[in-house]
Structure 1
C-alpha cells in the first residue's frame, strides 16, 4: 500500500466521527498514546491544541533520548492535519466520513528529505509502514465502542 519507500500511506476504518478523531489528533499529548513505533515519549505542548503554524516538541527515544520539533503545515478542521519535522519529513492524517465511521489515512512523506539514503540505512523505509498500521490500530482503540 505504499507508493515508494519514502512516501507511504496506511488506512483504517474507525467507527468514530471525523470530529472526534480530529480532536484527538490536534492534542499533542495524545500522540504518544497512539504511537505505534514506540519512540514517542511525551509532548512538550501539554494542554494546547494544534492549529496551522503551531510548533510543538516531542520527547523521543530511539536507542537514546532526544527531542524533535514539529510545525503544523496543513490544517483543515475535521478533515486533515500534517506536521513537518526539521529535516522535511511530513506526517499527514486525512479523515473521510464513511457510513457510520471515518476512513483514516496516515501518510509518511519523506520524498523531499535530502539524505534519503540515511532513512533507508536506519531502517525507516521498512519499519514505517508497520508502525503506521499499529498507530491506526491504537487510534481505533481510543474509540472502544467503535472498534471492530
Structure 2
C-alpha cells in the first residue's frame, strides 16, 4: 500500500480473455463489486479509453441511490481496464480516484489479477471532504473473489 493507493491480487483459474469479458461489461459489475454499492450497470461493453459508462449505486454514506459516470482511463484487451468514477453531472476532474484491473496470463487457464484503488489524483477539495481510502483492502479482496465466481458462472 502506498499513501495514495491500495491493491489486492489473486490468481483466478480462467483465461485473461474470459476475465476481461466480465470486466468490460458494466452490467456484470454488481456481481464483482465487493463494496455492496453497485446496483446495476449498462449492457454497453467498454471498448476503449474515453468511453463513459453509468452505474446505478446505493450507499447510506452517499444518501441512498445515486449514479456514477465512469470515465475509462485505461484499456488494453486481456491486460488492463481502468476508470475514474464521478457523480453524474460532476466533471471527472472534481473526483480523481481510479479503479484499475491488471491481468497477467499465467498460462492458458490461469490469470493473475491485480485490483488497484488509487486517489493520488483526487481533487484537494474532495480530499478535505472525504477520508481516503473510502474502501478497504478487504473490499478489493472480496471484489477479486467475486470476479473469480462471476467468471466461473460465465
With structure 1 as the length reference, what TM-score do the two structures score? 0.86
State how far apart, in whole Å, the 2-side matches of 1:142 and 1:55 are: 23
Are 2:50 and 1:53 aligned? yes
Q: Any gaps of 5 or more consecutive residues in structure 2? A: 86-91
1:84 equivalent to 2:84? Answer: yes
Task: Write out per-residue CA displacement over residues 20-66 of structure 1, whole angstroms, 9 at most, x where no aligned residue.
Answer: 000110000000111010000011x22x1102211111111111111
In 2, distance between residues paired with 1:118 and 1:10? Answer: 26
Q: When the two structures are aligned, how many residues end up with a matched partner?
A: 138
Q: 2:129 aligns with which of 118, 121, 136?
A: 118
- The corresponding residue for 2:143 is 135
Q: Distance in 2 between matches of 1:132 and 1:105?
A: 9
Cα 1:141/1:30, change in 2 over 3 Å: same
Superposition misfits of 4+ residues, deviation over 4 angstroms: none
Distance 2:139 2:84 in 1: 18
The aligned counterpart of 1:75 is 75
**1:7 equivalent in structure 2:** 5
Residue ranges of structure 1 left out of the alignment (5+ in a row): none
